[in-house]
Amino acid sequence: MIKLLKNNLGKYKWLGLLAIVFISIQAISELLLPSKMQEIIEKGITPGDVGMIISTGIDMLIISAVISLCAVCASLLISITSSGVASNVRRAIFVKVTNSSNNQIGKFGTASLITRTTNDVSQIQQLVVQSRFLFFTPIMGIGAIIMAVIKAKELSWIIAIVGVFLAITVVIIISFATPLFKLQQLKLDKLNLVLRESLTGVRVIRAFNRTKQDQKVFEDANLDLTQTSLKVARIMAVMMPVVMIIMNFTTILIYWVGSNYINDSIISMGQMVAFIQYVMHVMISLMFFSMILTFIPRATVSAERINGVLDSTNEIVDNGSQDSEKLLSGIEFKNVTFRFQGAEQPVLKNISFKANPGETTAIIGSTGSGKTTLIDLIPRFHDIESGEILIDGQNINDISIKDLRAKIGLVPQSAVLFSGTVAENIKYGKEDATQEEIEQAAKTSMAYDFIMRKPGGFSETISQGGSNLSGGQKQRLSIARALVRKPEVYIFDDSFSALDFKTDAKLRAALKSEITDAVMLIVAQRVSTIMNAEQIIVLSDGEIAGIGKHKDLYEHCEVYKEIVLSQHSEEEIA
């Protein structure tokens, strides 16, 4: 955590230090007040000197003003520092994630990365805010001890006894409470899980008449959580009264011992009163400090999670320096083998093929056969283990990633759209696309008609994640986005799955006539989608089981035949 703060304090370091200075002045000034009170008692009230009372009162007024002024300044500086640090950390994570490889993202999971960028950063921010007390309470506590001893060293043994006693109590309570806090969170997660399950499965639960049993599971989890929460609440119920009793008893003890000492003229009344106030400060500081300490474990967990992201390394190194060629000579895989980091088996083994411009190369195979992985190698989402991938005759590692990706129009499996207008989403493929280009792309992707049916047409707003569009509409827009780019290589990763057969057929026909000189790579599940491709690659367990045209493969490739038969009955083929 310290490392994280150190790296991200930046220019806020000096503000933070200044805040600590103000905090220290505030603490020290506050310690002067009881001492002034003593002066009033000893030099004002006892001898009956009104002038003295008033002048000391003015001193106290000035001190209070200084205290508040310092507190305000410290508050301002801490606010700026905490927001600043949070903003720095947040940016560092975002930049890191944005420039990470798919692999890195997959390792953490998108949902986890989102919480790390938002919630975990908030935790760090909270810690910086709380750190004000982290500095204030020890200064205050230690200062109060020193002052108390100076005021009445004869009474200082009381501090030692009570301090130890209070510390032990607080430690015991916190050591009981902390594991319970964790347990409570676990039980809450469990309850959440149970409820989430019954929400996602509501149809099945009702269809199978399991409502009663399901309710029982929930009740159990609920009871479990309630019992743990009750324990936590009860420990807290003990804590406050116990601490109060210790503090009040201490006061009484000081009164008793003090009155004896006064009687023997060892200390004065003013000393005793000041001593009581300082001891109260010591105890309150100790309590606050231990409570602040409970924040630290939480923040540490967050800091570790954030560091996990910041420290992860991107295995894709971009050191391509050659100018990219514009030969349009297609893509070639030469004996490519790839495995995921630490995996025992390679996902792809000895893949070799050539995809020519103006032709369609289709990839088919069962789930887990490595289709998506194969096409992900082309834009270098992963780096291969051995072999070579050539684009326009150049090794893809020799050109910069930016140049490489500029050649590719990717349409991923799940159509991702961004909030903004329809036109903006299509323009994502080519920033300077003209309205005509956008419309042309929309027409080819069979999106034009439904766009025009929208009240806003191309300026219709798409909500986050494209939730106001159907699956098929999203897919067509993400195809339009690739089309407007006019890339050398099109990659369609199962991009027609949400389309009905009719639209699918129409779209492919339009693509065929529109794209004449680019490489078309299509990953598909449906045989009917790819039957007419110039080249079909059949993947099975990461190896090529066959390459060829539909007819040849159906006759000679066992795996392919199996796939065809699973989708079409024997009779319809015959």
Partner 1 sequence: MTNQSNRPNQPPRRGPMGGHGPGGHMMQGGEKAKNFSVTIKRLLAYLKAVKIALLLVLAATIVSTIFSTVSPKILANAANSIQTTIMQRSIYEEIEKNLGSVPTNITGEQIYSMLPESITSGLAENMKEALFKVDFSKGKPGMDFDYIGGILLLCLALYAFSGIFGFVQSFVMAKIAQKTVYNMRNDVDVKLNRLPMKYFDTYTHGEILSRVTNDIDNVSNTLQQSLTQVISAVVTIISVTIMMLSISLILTLITICTLPLIIIITMFVAKRSKKQFKANQQELGNISGHVEEMYTGHKIISAYSHENISIEAFDDINVKLYNAGWKSQFISGLIMPLTNFLNNLGYLLICAVGGVLAINAKIGLGDIIAFTQYSRQFTQPIVQIANIINVLQSTAASAERVFEILDETEEVSDSKNSIELTNPHGAVSFEHVKFGYSDDKILIKDLNVEVKPGQTVAIVGPTGAGKTTLVNLLMRFYELIGGNIKIDGVNITDITRSDLRSLFGMVLQDTWLFNGTIHDNIGYGKDGSTQEQIISASKTSYVDRFVRTLSEGYDTVINEEASNLSQGQKQLLTIARAVLADPAILILDEATSSVDTRTEVLIQKAMNKLMVGRTSFVIAHRLSTIRNADLILVMNHGDIIEHGTHTSLMEQNGFYADLYNSQFAGKSDNIA
Cβ closer to partner 1: 165 or 386? 165
Binding mask of the shown chain, residues 497 to 536, with x at each position contacting partner 1 by CB under 8 A = xxxxxxx-x-------------------x-xx--x-----
Binding partner 1 (rule: CB under 8 A), the pick from 60, 134, 266, 510 is 60
Residues 6+ apart with CB under 8 A from 135: 20, 23, 24
Q: What is the Cα–Cα distance from 524 to 276, expressed in whole angstroms?
A: 81
Dihedral (CA of 231, 232, 235, 240) sign: negative
Pick out residues in 127-156 that bind partner 1 (CB under 8 A).
129
- Least distance between partner 1 and beta carbon 370 (Å): 12
Classify burial at 124, counting beta carbons within 10 Å of its beta carbon; exposed 0-12, middle 13-18, buried 19 or more.
buried
Question: Near partner 1 by CB under 8 A, which window of 147-155, 334-342, 415-423, 446-454?
Answer: 415-423
Residues 6+ apart with CB under 8 A from 9: 16, 81, 85, 88
Pick out residues in 209-248 that bind partner 1 (CB under 8 A).
209-211, 213-215, 218-219, 222-223, 226, 229-230, 232-234, 236-238, 240-242, 244-245, 248
End-to-end CA distance of the chain: 69
Asked if residue 468 binds partner 1 (CB under 8 A), the reply is: no
- Least distance between partner 1 and beta carbon 217 (Å): 9
- Least distance between partner 1 and beta carbon 335 (Å): 25
Cβ closer to partner 1: 17 or 54? 54
Question: Near partner 1 by CB under 8 A, which window of 54-62, 350-358, 447-455, 510-518?
Answer: 54-62
Cβ closer to partner 1: 195 or 334? 195
Pick out residues in 293-312 that bind partner 1 (CB under 8 A).
294-295, 298
- Least distance between partner 1 and beta carbon 383 (Å): 14
Kindly write down the DSSP assignment for every residue of 156-203, as one continuous string: HHHHHHHHHHHHHHHHHHHHHHHHHHHHHHHHHHHHHHHHHHHHHTHH
- Least distance between partner 1 and beta carbon 307 (Å): 18
The two structure tokens encoding residue 195? 């409820």
Distance of CA 496 to the CA centre of its chain: 32
- Least distance between partner 1 and beta carbon 47 (Å): 8
Angle of CA points 88, 94, 100, to nearest 5°: 135
Q: How many CB atoms lie within 10 A of CB 471?
A: 13
Cβ closer to partner 1: 13 or 334? 13
Asked if residue 465 binds partner 1 (CB under 8 A), the reply is: yes
Binding partner 1 (rule: CB under 8 A), the pick from 20, 53, 142, 328 is 53
Asked if residue 271 binds partner 1 (CB under 8 A), the reply is: no
Dihedral (CA of 289, 292, 298, 303) sign: negative
Q: How many CB atoms lie within 10 A of CB 125?
A: 21
